[in-house]
């Protein structure tokens, strides 16, 4: 029998406060609070570069039979140029982080971002004013060179735990994991089956779950923001129909559909020297 406590849905990090009790059993028990980064702690302000945008590209890639993360290098470049903000009040988030640390818990970010995003992530941490540093982040790593062989979150977590001194010194591990992705919650819940001394509680953060189906408004926003990105201008948050018309003409688009947007983004990525990786 594994020590999986189930997956619960929550809408705020403050709901984790109730899991500080019972207190940790001194050095015999290791408490680890793990929080996802994108769409759980922070989010991109514009549609260009946010998680909906990322999942849209992933779905388009899968439909074409290419690597789901074929766009990874291009989106890394985009994320370096767009502003980020916290999903909830930064004071609220920092209070929860502080409360767990004061009770002896390790507080870490378990992200699907790869090591190549360290510098960008550092910038996003500074923008958001979170009480976290790069040392608090567990990045995904590659099993081999190239794209498409990223470790799963449960694998990244186990690798990280095995590298800590508490791994061999503690008798029990209490893990709390928070993510906007139900899929990643399922992955991390599986750690309890692999690490017998671990108890795992996962929380599905439903504040703003990503959706690969972009609305008409989101697609129109992407048109304007892609045009600004290609011209090296500041990415606009607000726009009017005149600006939209200018962007349509500049990008050479006759209509706005998922196919036309995807085709244009593949073209822009290639011109940025970060072409989509088509190897399955």
Kindly state the average pLDDT of the residues 189-195: 95
Residue 79 pLDDT level (bands cut at 50, 70, 90): confident
Q: Are 130 and 38 in contact (CB under 8 A)?
A: no
Least Cα distance to 32 among 195, 227, 150, 262 occurs for: 195
Cis peptide before 203 (omega within 30 of 0): no
The pTM is what? 0.81
Tokens standing for 1?
């029998």
Cα gap 247→78, rounded to integer Å = 18
Residue 190 has pLDDT above 50, yes or no: yes
Buried b vs exposed e over 128-157: b needs ≥16 C-beta within 10 Å? Answer: bebbbeeeebbbbeeeeeebbebbebbbbb
Give the pLDDT confidence score for residue 95 in this predicted structure.
Answer: 98
Distances (CA, A) of 211 to 51, 145, 219, 231: 8, 29, 13, 27
Other beta carbons within 10 angstroms of residue 179's beta carbon come to 28
Q: So where are the chain's domains?
A: 4-42+85-205, 46-82+214-271
Residue 6 pLDDT level (bands cut at 50, 70, 90): confident
Q: What is the mean pLDDT of the chain?
A: 91
DSSP string, 138-152: EEE-BSSSSSS-BPP
Cα gap 164→158, rounded to integer Å = 10
Backbone phi, psi, residue 93, to 5°: -65, -45
Tokens standing for 148?
């498409």
pLDDT by residue (tens digit) across 33-78? 999 999 899 999 899 998 889 999 999 999 999 999 899 889 988 9
For the chain, what percent of residues have pLDDT higher than 90?
Answer: 75
Kindly state the average pLDDT of the residues 194-212: 86
Give the pLDDT confidence score for residue 191 in this predicted structure.
Answer: 96
Give the pLDDT confidence score for residue 262 in this predicted structure.
Answer: 97
Give the pLDDT confidence score for residue 251 in this predicted structure.
Answer: 97
Residue 144 pLDDT level (bands cut at 50, 70, 90): low
Residue 214 has pLDDT above 50, yes or no: yes
Tokens standing for 245?
């018309």
Kindly state the average pLDDT of the residues 83-89: 94
Residue 280 has pLDDT above 50, yes or no: no
Cα gap 92→105, rounded to integer Å = 18
DSSP-derived 3-state class of residue 23: coil
| 208 or 16: which leads in pLDDT | 16
Distances (CA, A) of 47 to 104, 141, 205: 38, 26, 20
**DSSP conformational letter for 236:** P
For the 4-42+85-205 domain, the top CATH level (class) is alpha beta
């Amino acid at each position: 029998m594994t020590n999986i406590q189930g997956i619960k849905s929550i809408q705020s990090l403050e709901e984790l406060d109730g899991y500080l009790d019972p207190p940790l059993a001194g050095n015999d028990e290791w408490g680890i609070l793990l929080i996802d980064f994108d769409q759980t702690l922070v989010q991109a302000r514009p549609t260009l570069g946010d998680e909906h945008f990322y999942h849209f590209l992933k779905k388009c890639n899968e439909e074409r039979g290419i690597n789901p993360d074929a766009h990874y290098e291009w989106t890394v470049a985009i994320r370096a140029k767009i502003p980020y903000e916290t999903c909830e009040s930064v004071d609220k988030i920092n209070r929860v982080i502080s409360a767990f640390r004061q009770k002896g818990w390790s507080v870490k970010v378990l992200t699907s971002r790869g090591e190549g995003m360290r510098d960008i992530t550092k910038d996003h941490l500074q923008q958001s004013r979170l009480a976290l540093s790069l040392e608090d982040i567990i990045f995904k790593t590659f099993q081999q060179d190239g794209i498409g062989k990223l470790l799963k979150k449960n694998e990244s977590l186990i690798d990280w735990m095995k590298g800590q001194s508490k791994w061999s010194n503690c008798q029990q591990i209490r893990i709390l994991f928070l993510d906007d992705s139900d899929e990643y919650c399922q992955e991390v819940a599986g750690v309890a089956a692999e690490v017998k001394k671990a108890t795992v509680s996962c929380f599905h953060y439903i504040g703003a779950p990503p959706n690969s189906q972009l609305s008409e408004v989101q697609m129109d926003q992407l048109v304007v923001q892609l045009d600004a990105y290609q011209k090296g201008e500041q990415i606009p948050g607000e726009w009017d129909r005149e600006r939209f018309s200018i962007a349509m003409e500049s990008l050479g688009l006759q209509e706005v559909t998922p196919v036309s947007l995807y085709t244009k983004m593949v073209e822009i990525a290639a011109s940025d020297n970060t072409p989509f990786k088509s190897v399955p």
